[in-house]
Amino acid sequence: MQKVLLGAEAIAQGAIDGGMSGVYAYPGTPSTEITEYIQSNKYAREQKLHSMWSTNEKTAMESALGMAYAGKRAMVCMKHVGLNVAADCFMNAAVTGVNGGMIVTVADDPSMHSSQNEQDSRYYGRFAQIPILEPSNQQEAYDMAYAAFDLSEEFGVPVMIRITTRLAHSRAVVQLSPVRSQNSLKLPDDPRQFVLLPNIARKQYRKLLAGQSLFEEKSNTSPFNQYHEGTDKTMGIIACGISMNYLMEKFPEGCPYPVVKVSQYPLPRKLVTRLSEETGYLLVLEEGYPIIEELIKGYLEKEQVKGRLDGTLPRDGELNPDHVAKALGLPVHKGNDVPSLVANRPPALCVGCSHHDVFKALNEALKELGDGRVFSDIGCYTMGALEPYHSINTCVDMGASITMAKGAADAGLIPAIALIGDSTFTHSGITGLLDAVVENSPITIIISDNESTSMTGGQESSAKGRIEAICEGVGVLSGHIHVVLPVKKNHESLVKLIKDELNYPGVSVIIPRRICVQKNRRDIKIKQVAKSI
Amino acid sequence: MKTDIILAGVGGQGILSIAAAIGTAALNNELYIKQAETHGMSQRGGAVVSHLRISDKPIYSDLISEGEADLILAVEPLEALRYLPYLATKGYIVTNTTPFVNIPDYPTAEEIMKQLHQQTHLVAIDADKVAEDLGNKLASNMVMLGAAARFLNHIDLTALEKGIAELFSRKGEEVVKANIDAIHAGKTLVDKQFQD
């Protein structure tokens, strides 16, 4: 059987067919489609595979580890920066090891199409000292999800699958394998394996270290890594993940240089050593940071290596066939230049979006106080930094609005304002709010609640209908929690409310609540379909 | 034989439906496809592009190389110009002329058309008007697909119709018919231009 799948969907299908019992994730571009695919997959629904969204990547990672503790196969998915949130559990899961298979799928976003940075998750994989799989195409994405469970169960450690935006969001035909049944519930053989008290952790860590040479040997013989012979031995090429496609694209009749295709890490030392011995110098093609290039080159630069560090390839951004052509010294036949009148068309808030009303009111309320005191966060409302509002001054990481506002207020910037969305608030804002409550910081927090995780496509927010209860539970005084309807006719009252709370020298929370226009439209459609059935 | 297509537009204009229709038709004809899409942030009214590659041989890269696209199919005229570096010397631009103005520095329609007419191979039609005349404003993307039909190697009109029927079957016969009508309207208009 075959299907046309996005790279992200191929991983989802591979995990389902590979006998997964559940996926845990928080939405984040370009990883969102993995979990969405599982949520809507008929077989996954029939089998009742877990696929509900988690509150954040940390809770997702921990839940997946819990499922793997219980002997079943679990996958956790996130975008690259999500792994920062989940890193505590991730690093320690490598030490506890797993019982059932566990896949950590991380989707990196080089060129920052929808992200704050372009960090390379392969560093995290190396940091945790676990095997990493990096598919070069959709078929491998499928095959690797299946194989990653085997690898994870063979070595008793989590296995990372690392993809990048391009593969996540590109479609091709994928051949499916037979479906494998799920594991049955089974406790770990060693009841202390997951208890990371120092003396146990030391033992577990030595086990992980002892595994390193086995992981490497597995990489040497992995079907995902290959040595391709070549006649021109002046240069040897190491092509990691998707870059292999760009190389093949440029040599459809076969590459004249010897090539090591790397899609499984640790680096296959035998293949790379052979390449180094047989060729004059090496060219490393990798999507992301020059991690392999740096590794091979070494601090003393004893090996002659070309790549992103010496300018053969761009230092940042995603690769493409043109970059690779240039690095190979091949001609590029660029078409006409883009005329100068072609203006950028950045993303914008939808017509009718409630954030418009919030920005208008906020700007007016802040007129007298002046600019520079609005700490914001990650979501559609980050576009409040752009034309026409220029309302916000920061966007750093999930939840940072509240805590940065607190820090600025501590420094004397009073009042300071935090502007955060409902889903980002439940993801990572609650603990920051507690900090502010503990010290009764003079900050006004606006939780612009559109009852949805909109930027990633309108997933259910964990906050739904509970935000004011959460704030009160954390300790915000009920007199300083306000729920308002952000519509044009309420503009004046919203301005007044914001001004009043800015004058209050403690923590206040204003919750402008109106459902995301996109989500509303989809919900109506779903209801109509349900009615017609 | 390969066809490399840059599909360009603004988030929400339906370029993914065009891609899906061509892709389904290509698969029915047992061809290889790869289709790189834009998801995430830029979907919110931003510029979106899809690289659609069709071939009778395996395809490696998900992205089209600069100067190698056989076709830029744009549902918006400014977006047609954004991807000129990808167009091959022999390649065609097939574009809608109705602008989607959601930025303050959007050029005038005359400026855009002047730039477009400087390109060697151009087909420009007012797909929004054609769709409106058909009584189906939302089908302007399918009008554009019809306009591009003559440039799709190894995929004929019947294959496109079949692709659309598959794609929209869940939405009912009326929707399928409306979309197929839109394709015919686009194709007829362009075929006529080539006869003249």
pTM: 0.96
Chain B nearest-CA distance from A395, in A, is 15
**Residue B69 contacts A, CB cutoff 8 Å:** yes
Which of B44, B51, B88 comes nearest A335 by C-beta? Answer: B88
Query: Residue B43 above 80 pLDDT?
Result: no
Q: In what order do the strands lie in the sheet with A374-375?
A: A374-375, A416-421, A443-448, A508-512, A481-484
A242 contacts on B by Cβ (under 8 Å): 62
Mean of per-residue pLDDT scores for chain A = 96
Domain range annotation of chain B: 2-195
Clarify whether residues A35 and A113 are in a common domain.
yes
Amino acid B135 reads G
Clarify whether residues A88 and A105 are in a common domain.
yes
Average pLDDT, integer, range A309-338: 96
Average pLDDT, integer, range A55-61: 98
B112 contacts on A by Cβ (under 8 Å): 341
In a domain, A17, yes or no: yes
- Closest Cα partner for B15 from B35, B32, B40, B33? B35
**Residue A37 contacts B, CB cutoff 8 Å:** no
For B105, the closest chain A residue by CA position comes to A343
How confident is the model at residue A237, as a pLDDT? 98
- Got the DSSP string for A455-489? TTT-BPPTTTT-HHHHHHHHT--GGGEEEE--SGG
B107 contacts on A by Cβ (under 8 Å): 341-343
Clarify whether residues A60 and A173 are in a common domain.
yes
User: Which residue has 């060129």 as its token pair?
Assistant: A111
Chain B nearest-CA distance from A137, in A, is 8
How confident is the model at residue B196, as a pLDDT? 75
- Closest Cα partner for B36 from A512, A320, A371? A320
Average pLDDT, integer, range A152-171: 97
Number of domains chain A is built from: 3
CA–CA separation, A478 and A485 (whole Å): 18
**Residue A336 contacts B, CB cutoff 8 Å:** yes
Q: B2-195 domain in CATH 1.10.260.40?
A: no
Clarify whether residues A35 and A133 are in a common domain.
yes
| Cβ neighbours around B175 below 10 Å, total | 17
Chain B nearest-CA distance from A363, in A, is 20
Which of A114, A333, A342 comes nearest B68 by C-beta? Answer: A333
Please tell me the total number of residues recorded for chain A in this structure.
533
Query: Residue B40 above 90 pLDDT?
Result: no
How sure is the predictor about A530, in pLDDT bands with cuts at 50, 70 and 90? confident
Clarify whether residues A257 and A404 are in a common domain.
no
In a domain, A456, yes or no: yes
Query: Residue A347 above 90 pLDDT?
Result: no
In a domain, A347, yes or no: no
Least confident of A13-17, A239-243, B134-138: B134-138
**Residue A42 contacts B, CB cutoff 8 Å:** no
Query: Residue B42 above 80 pLDDT?
Result: no
Question: What CATH number should be reported for the domain holding residue A312?
Answer: 3.40.50.920
Chain A nearest-CA distance from B58, in A, is 9
Type and span of the H or E element at B130 = helix B127-133
Clarify whether residues A438 and A410 are in a common domain.
yes
Query: Residue A172 above 90 pLDDT?
Result: yes
Among residues A201, A220, A239, which one ends one of the domains? Answer: A220
In a domain, A349, yes or no: no
**Residue A30 contacts B, CB cutoff 8 Å:** yes
Chain A nearest-CA distance from B158, in A, is 21
| Contact assignment for A169 to B36 by CB distance below 8 Å | yes
B46 contacts on A by Cβ (under 8 Å): 345-348
Average pLDDT, integer, range B147-174: 91
Chain B nearest-CA distance from A471, in A, is 29
- Closest Cα partner for A14 from B34, A53, A5, B59? A5
Query: Residue A158 above 90 pLDDT?
Result: yes
- Got the DSSP string for A191-231? TTTT---HHHHHHHHHHHHHHHHHHHHHHHH-TTSEEE--S
Average pLDDT, integer, range A58-66: 98
Instruction: Categorise residue B8: left if φ over 0, alpha if ψ from -120 to 50, beta otherwise.
Output: beta
Clarify whether residues A278 and A419 are in a common domain.
no
Query: In sequence order, what are the beta bridge partners of A2?
Result: A175
Query: Residue B171 above 90 pLDDT?
Result: no
**Residue B154 contacts A, CB cutoff 8 Å:** no
Clarify whether residues A420 and A515 are in a common domain.
yes
Type and span of the H or E element at B177 = helix B173-195
Instruction: Categorise residue B30: left if φ over 0, alpha if ψ from -120 to 50, beta otherwise.
Output: left
* CA neighbours closer than 13 Å in the CB half-sphere of residue A31: 27
**Residue A169 contacts B, CB cutoff 8 Å:** yes
Least confident of A66-70, A283-287, B154-158: B154-158
Q: Give me the percent of chain A exceeding a pLDDT of 90.
A: 93
pLDDT tens-digit map of A392-413: 999 999 999 999 999 999 999 9
**Residue B23 contacts A, CB cutoff 8 Å:** yes
pLDDT tens-digit map of B108-117: 999 999 999 9
| Contact assignment for B112 to A343 by CB distance below 8 Å | no
Chain A nearest-CA distance from B112, in A, is 8
**Residue A329 contacts B, CB cutoff 8 Å:** no
Query: Residue A465 above 90 pLDDT?
Result: no
A73 Cβ partners below 8 Å, 6+ apart? Answer: A15, A18, A19, A20, A21, A67, A100, A101, A102, A103, A149, A152, A153, A182, A183
pLDDT tens-digit map of A359-401: 999 999 999 999 999 999 999 999 999 989 999 999 999 999 9
Query: Residue A267 above 90 pLDDT?
Result: yes
Clarify whether residues A193 and A231 are in a common domain.
no
B117 token code pair: 């007419």
CB A344 within 8 A of CB B81: no
Query: Residue A422 above 90 pLDDT?
Result: yes
Query: In sequence order, what are the beta bridge partners of A453?
Result: A459
A169 contacts on B by Cβ (under 8 Å): 36-39
Clarify whether residues A207 and A271 are in a common domain.
no
- Closest Cα partner for A24 from A109, A89, A96, A117? A89
- Closest Cα partner for A324 from A315, A312, A335? A312
A348 contacts on B by Cβ (under 8 Å): 44-46, 102
CA–CA separation, A114 and B38 (whole Å): 10
Which of A165, A171, A340, A456 to mutate against chain B (most B CBs within 10 Å)? Answer: A171
Q: In what order do the strands lie in the sheet with A102-108?
A: A22-25, A74-79, A102-108, A159-164, A132-133, A264-265
Clarify whether residues A455 and A400 are in a common domain.
yes
Strands A170-175 and A2-6: antiparallel
Average pLDDT, integer, range A271-280: 97
pLDDT tens-digit map of A218-264: 999 999 999 999 999 999 999 999 999 999 999 999 999 999 999 99
